[in-house]
Each structure stands twice: as C-alpha cells, then as structure tokens.
Amino acid sequence: MTGMEPWAISAVSGVAAMFVQIGGQVLGGLGKTLNEKTKKLIFAASNEYQKKYEERHGIIKVLGMREHVKLESLYTAVQFLDDDTSFQSIENLENVYRQTKIRRFQSQDGDKQEGIKVANDKQYLMVIGGSGAGKSTFLRKMGIEALKGKKEGFKHACIPVFIVLERFASSKLNIETFIAEEFGICGCPSPERFAAKALEEGKLLILLDGLDEVPTKNLTEAISEIQNFVDKYDKNRFIISCRGAAYRHNFRRFTDVAMADFGDIQIESFISNWFRSEPDRGKDCWQKLNSPEHTAAKELTHTPLLLTLVCLLYQRSHKFPTNRATIYERALRVLLEEWADEKIIVPEDLYKGLNTKRKEMMLSEIAHDAFQQDRLFLPRREIADKIEKLLAEMLPDEKFISGADVLRSVEVQHGVLVERTDGIYSFSHLTLQEYFTARYINDHRQVEKLVTEHLTDERWNEVFLLVAELMGSGADELLLLMQKEAQKYINTPKLQALLNWAEQVTVGSVSNLKPVRKRASAITRAYINAIAIANAIANTYTNANINANAIARTKTYANAIANANANVIVNANAIASTIANANIIANADPKAIAITIKNSGELKKSDIFNNVNFTMLSAQLEALKATIPDEKQPREVRRAFAKHLQQTLLKAFHLTLEMIDLSEEEIKALENYLYANHLIIQCKQAAVRVSPQTWEAIEARMLLVPGS
C-alpha cells in the first residue's frame, strides 16, 4: 500500500490522479492508508490547483478588450520553424529577405510543424519569437492541455507549473521554492515535500516564460540556475520561451524552435474564434481583410498581437480604415503604449522625458536613415549610438542616457525593433519602417527631396503613398512636384512624338473615358504592340525579344493609368498575349495571327481610337492568315511576309517604323514616365484631401508633351 487504494486512484483522472498518487506517497507513507480527512485535503487541493491555473493563466485581456475571455476560446494553433537565424551576418539576412520578396521578416527555411506535436515530441523545448508572437500564450495553452490529462492534445501525464521569469528581476531565481509555493497556495498539505516528490518522480510540466525578461545583470545567474535545475530533475518536461536572438543557445538539452508567422488558415481561424458569437460578422471581417483596399490591415495580421488589434478595430466600427497611415499609427499606439503597460522591463521613469512622441521621433530618424541607405538590418552598437545622440538633443537635462537600455526597452516593451540574430536588429515589420520613414519626411519637410531622388524607385512606392496620407490637405504640393519631375523623362523627339500620336488618335473618339485614359489605352493597345512586333521582326527567326521585360512593365503602367477610376472598364489584356508572343508573330505563326485578329476586334469595341478602320484591319489580317508561309519556304519569303504584317499593323494605327524605333534608354525613360504617372494616381487616391482644381489640372496634363 502507498497511502491510496487502487480503486481510489482509478476513480479520478488527469491531474487529480497525480495529486492523489503523489499525496499518498508523501502523506501516507509505506504500508499506511490515508485517513478520510487527508484524502479530502488532497482532492480539494487538486481541484483548487486546476481552478487557480485556469483563473491565472487560462484567460486573456489585452489591447483594450472590454472583458477577459477564455484563452481556449480564442487560441489558434501555432506552428514552429527550426531556429536557424542565430549568428547570421547582416549580409546573409539582407540576401535572404530580398530573395523572398515578402514584406515581413519571417524566415522561410524549414518545414512548419504543429506546436502541440513538437511539445509532445520534445521533452526539453525552447520557444523563440518576437514580442507579440504568441510565446506566452502557447506556454499557457500547453498547461491547460496538461490539466485535461492524456486524453486531450498533450499526451504526457504532468502537472503544469507556469513560472513568469520576469518576477525574478530583483531576487534570486529559486525554482524549487516557487513550485512549492504554487502547491501551497492551493492548499496542498506539506507543499515542500509534495513538490520535491513530484519533481523526483518526473510528474511536472515546467513552463518558464520570458527568459529575455530577466535583467541582464541577473541573466547569467538565472541561466545557470535553470540549467542546474533541469539537470537535477531531468525526468520532468520543460518548455522555455525567449525573445528572438536574446537567446544565446545556452541550454544543452533543449531543442530550439521559432514561432512561425500566422498564415491565412491561422488568421481566418483566429478571426472565426474572435467572432464566435457573430459568425456572419467574422466571415465579413475575413472577406474585407482580403480585399485590395485593405492590404495595410492584412499586413499586420501575421502576429497574434497585431491581429488582435485588427479584430478590435473591426469589432468597434464594422470596417477597417482604408488609410494606411491610420492603420499603422493605431498599431504603433498599441505597441508603444498599451502593450508596453503589460511588459514593464525598463521603467518608464528611467528617463522621464522619453514619452511616446519622442520615441516616435527617435524611431522615425532611425528608420529613415536606414531606408535612405537601402538597409534593413542594423548592428546594435550603431542603433544605440544613434539613440544616445538623438536623446541628448531631445533631453539635454539628462546627465547620461544609455542607448543600449533604451533599445532594450523599445525591443522588449514595444516590439518595434527586433534582434534578428546576435547583435543585429531590424524593424519588426517592413511596413513600420516605411511608415516611420514617411513620418520623418513629412515632419522634416523633405517631400521635394523624396520626389527628386526616389520618384521612379519602386522600393519607395509605399513611402510615397504614406507621405500622401500624412500630408493631409497639403498633398496637392506632393502631386504637383511628382508631375513636374515625371515630365523630365519625356526628353527626346521620339518620346514626345509618341505622346502627340496618342493624343491625335484618341481625341474626340466616342468612348466616355477621360482623355488621359484614352491616351494611356492607346499606348497600351497599339504602340506597345507595335514595339513588340518591330523588335521581334528585327530578330526574325531567333529567340531574342529585345526589351521584352521593359515592354511588359510599360504595358502594365499604361494600362493601370487607363483603368484608374474609370467608369468603363476596358479589356486590360486585349493584346497582352500578342506582346508576349511577338517573336511567334514575326515568324508567321497561325495561332499568333489569330490572336492579333481577335484583339483587333476587342480594340474596336473599346471605342478609344478616332480614325482606325478596324473592319479593314480585320479583313487584311484574315487575308494574311490565309497566305502564311510554312517553315519549308525560303527565309526571304518568310521575312517578306513578316514585314508585310508589320506594315499592315503600323499603317492601321497611323504609325511609322521610325516612330517606334526606340533605344534602350528611351524605352526605360518611357517606363519610368508611365510608372511615375501611375504613382501620382495612387497617391491621389491615398491622400486625405486633394483640391479638385489641382487634380483637374494635373490630369489634363498627364500623358501630354509638356507645354503642348
């Protein structure tokens, strides 16, 4: 006998069974039977322990939620990646990010694994992730699963003990004492002996949350204490959480895994859980989030913290702000204020003047200077030095400001800057760096510099849109500067002839598109097609297609201008396949000719051109189709046919070969010009307010030769 009869143990399950078993060994003693009073105490302690765990760790309330909610009602299964980013160089991180071309810094290496499965497979697990990534929530959830017993997701019979390492900021970490206190709080008899026996038997799941939140001065001692404790009680299971690269791989037994960003399945699941009582609203939230006008909101949903913000925004107003700057500003308020209140690591009164406004100014300059240099990752020392310099100017009365301490505060309490690997930092989201960059430009009145230096650099596209939003009623100035700069690209007689041609062949046509959109449509549907054919014919019977990529991009921008805000949607792809197959046309391929004939019919339907006889063109192309030479014909015959095809198309659209014979530089200038005009339209759409008179003047000049 061990103090509890077998029938009594089998009558309970899960944590209660372990409490009974361990309590019987501790209190009954060998060969003795527990009295009824002691039995009741153990059962009561078991129930109280489960109740207190669920009260303390099984509910959540963050970011202004009106009431607490059960963690399980909102919990979304997390996934892990193998952690392989530590000790990478800045160059490696930059290369990986630029190759993946995503706007988050999520590693794409390794296969994702379900969090619960990893926790079941690994006795010693180190969970690594940034602020707000869901580390603490995962640890709390594993504790709840353990309370349910092996019949649920966690397959090991363990009593969970959740320990917040932050509480040891000012005292020595003694894990055994803490565990005994946890059992004592729930009324467990002889809690010290009970804890010792549970540890000896390997009956605990020990959850150590926030290793990075232990102050640096105590960290070495805390790591040593944890390592010794794990070695001493190695029959138990352990899960530790730590913020990103703050972890230095000090634990020999542990498997390191990184929190993976939420994917669409997890985001949709989280939203569904959030709106559990209003499923239709949850579906509507998900649908709107995936619409093109809400890409800014969607970008923030890949971490649980900011996904919570997005759900709150939608819950309160049943819509998302369409203004990018508004979304990012609200996200930053959450990170710099509300989230900080829950993560007090560096006391806010350390530097009394370091308020939210000054932090934003500081982060804006750091973001802008790095973005200006096309840098996404920065060394710790460089950031710390910059912080000290900036705050010395902002807070001259402070005797000394430690840039390293402030950086730690921004990282741990706010999650805006994140240590990606040993001593190397970036902004947690590229969108936040772009937002801060735009804030700096607007605050420092550097709009003209932005336009003259970066108008056609696609890397700055998002910054332009954010500046347009931030300028409020001053966006007129930005748009006028952009148009003035864009006009500089139309600097050769041939490019000017192109714009004049687009005006001449569309002015007065029956289409109800605005003139600028007619001109853009003409460029898209005829001129670029002619360029493609001319370039292909110049290289007939070869696989070369000169400027194919530039032509495709030019088509994209011109077509975007043609369709922007249009009431009549023209066929955006009427000649795309013809352009893509220009070499095939030049080689007299029957299928390509058929496509050209079909596209000429689409052009007629658009009513964009004022003097193109599409009926005659279709008849001419049909006639040509019937006389296509086969591959057995001499090369000279096929070349003559290709030239005839070219002349037919050029004549129909009132073009000459000389007009479309552009150099590489001219095609690039045309691409830049159309890109800039498209960006002007995007900025106008993003701006809070643009004077109608200003916009009418800008639109009237668009795609016209300056001064004409």
Q: Which pLDDT band holds residue 574 (cuts at 50, 70, 90)?
A: very low
Cα torsion 54, 58, 64, 66: sign: negative
Domain end position, chosen among 196, 225, 259: 259
Cα separation, 80 vs 685, in Å, equals: 39
pLDDT tops 50 at residue 478: yes
Domain count, the chain: 2
Estimate the crossing angle of helix 548-563 against helix 515-522, to 10 degrees. Answer: 160
User: Kind of pairing, strands 417-421 and 424-427?
Assistant: antiparallel
Whether 499 and 515 have beta carbons less than 8 Å apart is answered as: no
| Residue 98 CB partners (closer than 8 Å, separation 6+) | none
pLDDT tops 50 at residue 519: yes
Q: How many residues does the chain have?
A: 708
Q: Which of 198-207, 459-468, 520-529, 697-706 is predicted least confidently?
A: 520-529
Cα separation, 689 vs 708, in Å, equals: 28
Does residue 342 belong to any structural domain of this protein? Answer: no
Which amino acid, residue 696? E
Does residue 331 belong to any structural domain of this protein? Answer: no
Whether 188 and 49 have beta carbons less than 8 Å apart is answered as: yes
Count Cβ atoms within 10 A of the Cβ of residue 279 and give its class: 0-12 exposed, 13-18 middle, 19 or more buried: exposed
Domain end position, chosen among 259, 275, 298: 259
**N- to C-terminal Cα distance for the chain?**
104
DSSP 208-267: EE-GGGS-HHHHHHHHHHHHHHHHHTTTSEEEEEEEGGG-----TTPEEEEEPPP-HHHH
Which amino acid, residue 114? E
- In sequence order, the β-bridge partners of residue 230 are none
Phi, psi of 689 (to 5 degrees): -155, 135
Average pLDDT score over residue span 601-607: 72
Q: What is the pTM of this model?
A: 0.76
User: Kind of pairing, strands 255-259 and 124-129?
Assistant: parallel
User: Could you give the C-alpha distances from 44 to 18, 73, 268, 427, 483, in angstroms and in order?
Assistant: 13, 27, 40, 49, 76
Q: Which domain holds residue 640?
A: 488-701
Q: Which domain CATH number covers 163? A: 3.40.50.300
pLDDT > 90: percent of the chain:
29
More confident residue, 157 or 639: 157
Instruction: Read off the pLDDT of residues 126-146 as tens digits, 9 standing for 90 and up.
Output: 998 877 788 999 999 999 999
Does residue 155 belong to any structural domain of this protein? Answer: yes
Instruction: Read off the pLDDT of residues 405-451 as tens digits, 9 standing for 90 and up.
Output: 888 878 877 778 888 777 888 888 888 899 999 999 999 999 999 99
Does residue 536 belong to any structural domain of this protein? Answer: yes
Cα separation, 250 vs 172, in Å, equals: 19
Does residue 483 belong to any structural domain of this protein? Answer: no
Q: Which pLDDT band holds residue 570 (cuts at 50, 70, 90)?
A: very low
Q: Which of 71-75, 321-325, 494-498, 596-600 is predicted least confidently?
A: 596-600
Residue 114: its H or E element: strand 113-114
Q: Which of 156-170, 426-440, 544-558, 569-583 is predicted least confidently?
A: 569-583
Q: Which pLDDT band holds residue 577 (cuts at 50, 70, 90)?
A: very low
pLDDT tops 80 at residue 337: no
Average pLDDT score over residue span 619-629: 81
Cα separation, 115 vs 196, in Å, equals: 29
Q: Which segments of 455-514 does DSSP mark as H helices, in order? A: 461-470, 475-486, 493-504
Q: Give residue 256's pLDDT.
A: 87
Domain end position, chosen among 239, 259, 279: 259
Does residue 522 belong to any structural domain of this protein? Answer: yes
Q: Give residue 532's pLDDT.
A: 53
Q: Which pLDDT band holds residue 80 (cuts at 50, 70, 90)?
A: confident
Instruction: Read off the pLDDT of residues 350-391 as tens digits, 9 standing for 90 and up.
Output: 556 678 888 999 999 999 999 999 998 999 999 999 999 998
Residue 42: its H or E element: helix 36-57
Average pLDDT score over residue span 538-561: 53
Cα separation, 291 vs 285, in Å, equals: 10
| Residue 29 CB partners (closer than 8 Å, separation 6+) | 3
Estimate the crossing angle of helix 493-504 against helix 515-522, to 10 degrees. Answer: 120
Q: Which pLDDT band holds residue 530 (cuts at 50, 70, 90)?
A: low
Does residue 32 belong to any structural domain of this protein? Answer: no
Residue 300, phi-psi category: left (phi > 0), alpha (psi -120 to 50), beta (remainder)? alpha
- 4 CB neighbour count, 10 Å cutoff: 23
Average pLDDT score over residue span 290-316: 83
Cα separation, 475 vs 326, in Å, equals: 16
Average pLDDT score over residue span 537-552: 47
Does residue 385 belong to any structural domain of this protein? Answer: no
Count Cβ atoms within 10 A of the Cβ of residue 15 and give its class: 0-12 exposed, 13-18 middle, 19 or more buried: buried
> Among 432, 208, 420, 141, which residue's Cα sits nearest to residue 302?
432
| DSSP 8-state symbol, 160 | E
DSSP 601-624: HHHHHHT--SS--HHHHHHHHHHH
Q: Which pLDDT band holds residue 569 (cuts at 50, 70, 90)?
A: very low
> Among 122, 168, 15, 24, which residue's Cα sits nearest to residue 7?
24
Q: Output the 3-class SS for 385-440.
A: HHHHHHHHHHCCCCCCCCHHHHHHHHHHHHCCEEEEECCEEEECEHHHHHHHHHHH
